[in-house]
Amino acid sequence: MSRPAPKVVLDASAIVAWVMKEQGYEVVDRLLAFSIVPASVLTETLYRSAARGHRRTITELYQALLVVGITVEAVTETDAVRAGVLIAWSQSQDRDALNRSLSLGDGQCIAVAERVGLPVVGGDDYWSSVPMGVEYVPFR
């Protein structure tokens, strides 16, 4: 059985919301089978879910995500450089000292989305101000 073609790249906040049944998880549920998840985002999703008390082990949760149809995408050297540019830009924009900037995983997620040419779905409204080459779609 072939997988459907990916249509979005998911950020960890979206997947954690689905795992923990938080606000917006229904939206993410409809996207999982059509999603790319950068490997760094998968790592963040697994450890954050465990830290928040998810009942499955990290390995069980990983297997469950594969069953629902996510496609895990490696982060390339080019993605790493682009993520660095994005993160540096975001840190230079924090003029109001609210610590609004991209994390390592955020930058890599956006860079992968740009490389594969798909919209990125996440839960941080700050991302709408980031000059990225793809559409940002909030899931909640």
CB atoms within 10 A of CB 64: 12
93 vs 120, residue with greater confidence: 120
Cα separations (Å) of 24 from 17, 27, 30, 44?
Answer: 7, 6, 11, 19
What's the CA angle centered on 67, arms 33 and 31, to 5 degrees?
Answer: 20
Amino acid at 32: L
pLDDT band at 101 (very low <50, low <70, confident <90, very high): confident
Supply the DSSP symbol for 88: H
The pLDDT, as a whole number, for residue 95 is 63
Tell me which residue has tokens 């839960």.
123
Choice among 17-26, 90-99, 131-140 with the minimum mean pLDDT: 90-99
pTM of structure: 0.92
Domain extents in the chain: 8-73
With cut-offs at 50, 70 and 90, classify the pLDDT of residue 51.
Answer: very high
